[in-house]
Amino acid sequence: MQARLAAAAAMILVSGAAEARELFVTNEKGNSVTIIDGDTLKVTATVPVGNRPRGIVISPDGKFLYICVSDDDTIKVMDSTTHQLVGDLPSGPDPEQLTISPDGKTIYVANEDDNMVTLIDVEGRNQIDQIPVGVEPEGMGVSHDGKTVVNTSETTNMAHFIDVASHEIKDNVLVGQRPRYAWFTADDAEVWVSAEVGGNVSVIDNTAQPRKVTHTIPFAVQGLPKEAIGPVGVRITKDRKLAFVALGAANRIAVIDAQKYAVTKYLLVGQRVWQLAFSPDEKTLYSTNGVSNDISVIDVDRLEVVKSVTVGQLPWGVAVKGW
């Protein structure tokens, strides 16, 4: 009996260690990743990763971080437990944003300089294909069923829907000016695309043939000129009740009723809010604030900013591990 209890206790300890709560923030000018303890919200490490890190994702199993190191034309692989860099992936030139397939086998990268989306085999660490898209590709999103990838092209002002099986573009949907980000709802029925210069979010019906914009959500912050409001990062709760949009130089996050497609509140955060990430339980939202060099921590139930944490220079992307 004692042996079984000891074994069970050991398993609990191992499980707890494996589920350590941590945030990983890319610092575009700091050339590093800041690591934050998710419980204490204290910075525990800053890891140099190369020149101009921007997009960052965590593998579905939580074991690795994949980091776009734009000026080095590569993707760095970080062990999420040891925080050591353990490899590189061939990204193509100037990787900015990336997404990973639900099975963790394929990474999709926007190559801003050559108007391509690069597909990478994670296990083989080699390029599978490069797909021509619009001018200045940036945003990358993948459906939860793994069948569709979306890329947004900043200059073409389109969302390109790529069929994963054939590597072919099936739809090109015109959206707002300078689209920055694409996010699938949990049921894959919609894709929300933010337009930084257009100052809005386009909601695209992913079930329509052809796909089309069904709603356009504008933003207006009292006392701010329209050109100061630049939508970038997007997150939507799994139940599709709430959406959050980072508004760039407006220093706000818009809270949206995702059923009515209407803004209900603006949350004041740090300066030049850029990207967003939920904790896996969706009780907390984190934003990267580039000019103030910090992240904001938002209580989702209360819709309140509860803390800011100083990180490196020009924080860009954020990924969350644990919970």
- pLDDT digits over 174-203, tens only? 999 999 999 999 999 999 999 999 999 999
| Position 145 pLDDT exceeds 90 | yes
Within 10 Å of residue 220's Cβ, how many Cβ atoms? 12
Nearest of 321, 313, 323 to residue 23 by alpha carbon: 321
Q: In the prediction, which pLDDT does 15 show? A: 41
Mean pLDDT of 287-312: 98
Residue 139's closest CA among 86, 184, 185, 193? 193
Question: What pLDDT was estimated at residue 19?
Answer: 62
Given this model, what pLDDT does residue 20 score? Answer: 79
Residue 313 to residues 28, 75, 132, 139, 161: CA-CA distances in angstroms? 7, 20, 33, 22, 34
What CA–CA distance (Å, rounded) separates 194 from 256? 13
- Between 291 and 3, residue with greater pLDDT: 291
Question: Which pair of tokens denotes residue 290?
Answer: 């580039």
% residues pLDDT > 90 (the chain): 93
| Contact criterion met (CB below 8 Å) for 277 and 293 | no
Query: Is the model's pLDDT at 14 over the cut of 70?
Result: no
Dist. CA 152–CA 139, nearest whole Å: 5
Mean per-residue pLDDT of the chain = 94
- What is the chain's Cα-based Rg? 19
Distances (CA, A) of 95 to 7, 23, 73, 82, 168: 45, 21, 6, 25, 20
